[in-house]
Amino acid sequence: MRDLFGAELRWFQHIEETARRVFGHHGYGEIRTPILEELDVFKRSVGESSDIVNKEMYEFTDKGGRQVVMRPENTAGIVRAAIQHKLLASSDPVLFWCIGPQFRYERMQTGRYRQFWQVDAESLGVATPESEAESLLMLHSFLTELGLKSLVFSINSVGTPESRPAFHAAFRAFFAERADRFCEDCHRRIESNPLRVLDCKNEKCQAALEGHPVITDHLDEASARHHARLKVLLKELGIPFEENPRLVRGLDYYTRTAFEVLSSDLGAQSALLGGGRYDGLVKQLGGPDVPAFGWAIGLDRLAMVLQQIRGEAPYAPPALLIPLGDRAATEALKLARTLWAAGVALQLETRGGALKKAMASANRMGIQTVLILGDGELDNGTVTVKHMVTGEQESWPLEEVVARLADQ
Q: How far is the CB of 116 from ligand HAM (least distance, A)?
A: 3
Q: How far is the CB of 278 from ligand HAM (least distance, A)?
A: 6
Q: How many whole angstroms separate alpha carbon 135 and alpha carbon 272?
A: 16
Q: How many whole angstroms separate alpha carbon 320 and alpha carbon 311?
A: 24
CA dist 356 → 217, 330, 361, 386 (Å): 73, 20, 9, 13
Q: Judged by CB under 6 A, which stretch of 9-17, 232-240, 292-300, 359-367 contacts ligand HAM?
A: 292-300
Q: How many whole angstroms separate alpha carbon 175 and alpha carbon 194?
A: 9
Render 253-287 in DSSP notation, one character per residue: T--SEEEEEEE-TTSS-EEEEEEEE-TTHHHHTTS
Q: In the complex with ligand HAM, which residue's Cβ is closer, 47 or 274?
A: 274
- Told to check if 132 binds ligand HAM by CB under 6 A, we report no
Q: How many whole angstroms separate alpha carbon 129 and alpha carbon 227?
A: 8
Q: Judged by CB under 6 A, which stretch of 58-66, 110-118, 142-150, 176-184 contacts ligand HAM?
A: 110-118
- Told to check if 23 binds ligand HAM by CB under 6 A, we report no
Q: In the complex with ligand HAM, which residue's Cβ is closer, 118 or 154?
A: 118
- Told to check if 116 binds ligand HAM by CB under 6 A, we report yes
- Told to check if 159 binds ligand HAM by CB under 6 A, we report no
The one among 40, 106, 185, 375 contacting ligand HAM by CB under 6 A: 106
Q: In the complex with ligand HAM, which residue's Cβ is closer, 47 or 275?
A: 275
- Give Cα 235 distance to the centre of its chain: 25
Q: In the complex with ligand HAM, which residue's Cβ is closer, 280 or 294?
A: 294
Burial class (CB in 10 A: 0-12, 13-18, 19+), 174: middle
Q: Is the backbone of residue 258 left (phi > 0), alpha (psi -120 to 50) or beta?
A: beta
Q: In the complex with ligand HAM, which residue's Cβ is closer, 159 or 275?
A: 275
- Told to check if 123 binds ligand HAM by CB under 6 A, we report no
Count of helix runs (H) and strand runs (E) in the chain = 15, 16
Q: How far is the CB of 281 from ligand HAM (least distance, A)?
A: 9
Q: Judged by CB under 6 A, which stretch of 27-35, 111-119, 137-145, 187-195 contacts ligand HAM?
A: 111-119
Residue 275 CB contacts under 8 Å (≥ 6 apart), including other chains: 258, 259, 293, 294, 295, 296
Residues between 174 and 203 with contacts to ligand HAM, criterion CB under 6 A: none
**Residue 376: how many other CB atoms lie within 10 Å:** 13
**Residue 214 DSSP label:** P
- Told to check if 112 binds ligand HAM by CB under 6 A, we report yes
Residue 249 CB contacts under 8 Å (≥ 6 apart), including other chains: 158, 199, 258, 260, 274, 276
Q: Judged by CB under 6 A, which stretch of 114-122, 202-210, 229-237, 322-330 contacts ligand HAM?
A: 114-122
- Told to check if 104 binds ligand HAM by CB under 6 A, we report yes
Q: How far is the CB of 136 from ligand HAM (least distance, A)?
A: 12
Residues between 51 and 90 with contacts to ligand HAM, criterion CB under 6 A: 73, 75
Burial class (CB in 10 A: 0-12, 13-18, 19+), 65: exposed
Number of residue whose CB is nearest ligand HAM: 298
Q: How many whole angstroms separate alpha carbon 100 and alpha carbon 118?
A: 6
- Told to check if 294 binds ligand HAM by CB under 6 A, we report yes
Strands (E) located in 26-73: 29-30, 36-38, 58-61, 67-70
Site string for ligand HAM, 236-275 (x = CB under 6 A): --------------xx-------------------xxxxx
Q: How many whole angstroms separate alpha carbon 15 and alpha carbon 311?
A: 14
Q: How far is the CB of 354 from ligand HAM (least distance, A)?
A: 45
Q: Judged by CB under 6 A, which stretch of 171-179, 197-205, 296-304, 341-349 contacts ligand HAM?
A: 296-304
Q: How far is the CB of 69 from ligand HAM (least distance, A)?
A: 14
The one among 8, 37, 120, 132 contacting ligand HAM by CB under 6 A: 120
The one among 301, 335, 346, 405 contacting ligand HAM by CB under 6 A: 301
- Told to check if 44 binds ligand HAM by CB under 6 A, we report no
Question: 3-state SS string over 126-188?
Answer: CCCHHHHHHHHHHHHHHHHHHCCCCEEEEEEECCCCCCHHHHHHHHHHHHHHCHHHCCHHHHH
Residues making contact with ligand HAM (CB under 6 A): 73, 75, 104, 106, 112-113, 116, 118, 120, 122, 250-251, 271-276, 278, 294-298, 300-301
